[in-house]
Amino acid sequence: MKVFSKEYSIKKDNINEIPKYINENNENNVEVKLYFENGYYNMKNLEIDTFDFNVDKNISFIGRPQGTRFDFGKERKGAMKIVFIEGKGHKLTIENIIFENYKSQDNLFALQITIFTIDFYIEINNCIFRNSITPYIAVVKNTPSTFKIFEHEHILINNCSFLNNNGPLTFVNQYYKDSSKDLIIRVKNSNFSTNNGIIHSSNSKVYFDNCYFSNIQRYNELFSTVFFASNESYNDLEIRNTVFENIDVNEPRPILENNRLNLM
């Protein structure tokens, strides 16, 4: 009998086994679904330092409908090192997870995503990212452009909240300047309140639709912008049906920089 998906119930006593559950299912087209049954996980109590895995199949992290808390306790333990290698359109889904109190001293992000293919999908639904000392998400893509026209986004952030975070929420680094159409990020129906910087991007296309921003300011002295920095690279940015309120204008800092930035 052919198995199309394997589901695991993740509790406090087996959360350290997540990499094993993912890596032991190497059959073709087998999706791995991880259901987090508890409402709260103290990541400082993990036996392992980080969750390391390749996305060579569809993988889903699914919290409880009312949300499952990943509390990092102002440490980095429990960060995820995620790598996309095979170009088969595999998808990573993160749903109903509350990431809170993350801090790293060595530039490791809570979701550290490295990509070596143009055919991949990431979907983050109904999640909350709050009370971080350092940024939560980094996407590093290292593939030359194929000049293929994509009709869909590669990364979708939908119905999420980013609350009281001290660092930029996302760093997007793509090393090939002719590849901006190969990395499309769409943020929909999301709330950003009291954050220092939002996105620092290199060679990507970013869409915001039906979002709300309030009380945002720049990250630190190294970053001049409050909302979007294009990092001396080529980027497309489109903003629709979105509200900005109470933006920090106490100093002469722009909301975004227009250096090689195409506003759509």
Residue 61 in 3-state DSSP? strand
Residue 63 in 3-state DSSP? coil
Alpha-carbon distance of 196 to 218, in angstroms, equals: 5
Biggest CA pair distance of the chain: 65
Average of pLDDT values for 225-247?
78
Q: Which of residues 58 and 217 earns the better pLDDT score?
A: 58
The reported pLDDT for the residue numbered 71 is 98
Local confidence band at 168 (pLDDT 50, 70, 90 cut-offs):
low
Average of pLDDT values for 63-81?
96
DSSP state, 43? G
CB 109 within 8 A of CB 136: yes
Q: Which of 79-83, 164-168, 180-184, 194-198 has the highest mean pLDDT?
A: 79-83
Q: Please give the structure tokens belonging to residue 7.
A: 């589901």
Q: Is the pLDDT of residue 16 over 50?
A: yes
* Residue 261: strand pairing partners: 235
Backbone angles phi, psi at 243, to 5 degrees: -115, 135
Q: Is the pLDDT of residue 179 over 70?
A: no
Report residue 190 CA to chain centroid gap: 13
The reported pLDDT for the residue numbered 1 is 43
Q: Tell me the CA distances in angstroms from 192 to 34, 76, 88, 188, 247, one per residue in order.
A: 27, 23, 33, 11, 11
Q: How many CA atoms does the CB half-sphere of 90 hold within 13 Å?
A: 23
Question: Beta 68-75 vs 40-42: how paired, if at all?
Answer: parallel
CB 112 within 8 A of CB 138: yes
Local confidence band at 247 (pLDDT 50, 70, 90 cut-offs):
confident
Q: How many CA atoms does the CB half-sphere of 26 hold within 13 Å?
A: 7
pLDDT in tens, 109-124: 999 999 988 889 999 9
Q: Is the pLDDT of residue 30 over 70?
A: yes
Residue 28 in 3-state DSSP? coil
pLDDT in tens, 116-146: 888 899 999 999 999 998 778 888 887 766 6
- Residue 156: which H helix or E strand, with range? strand 155-158
Mean pLDDT of the chain: 84
DSSP state, 26? -
Q: Is the pLDDT of residue 181 over 70?
A: no
Q: Which of 102-106, 131-135, 160-164, 191-195 has the highest mean pLDDT?
A: 160-164
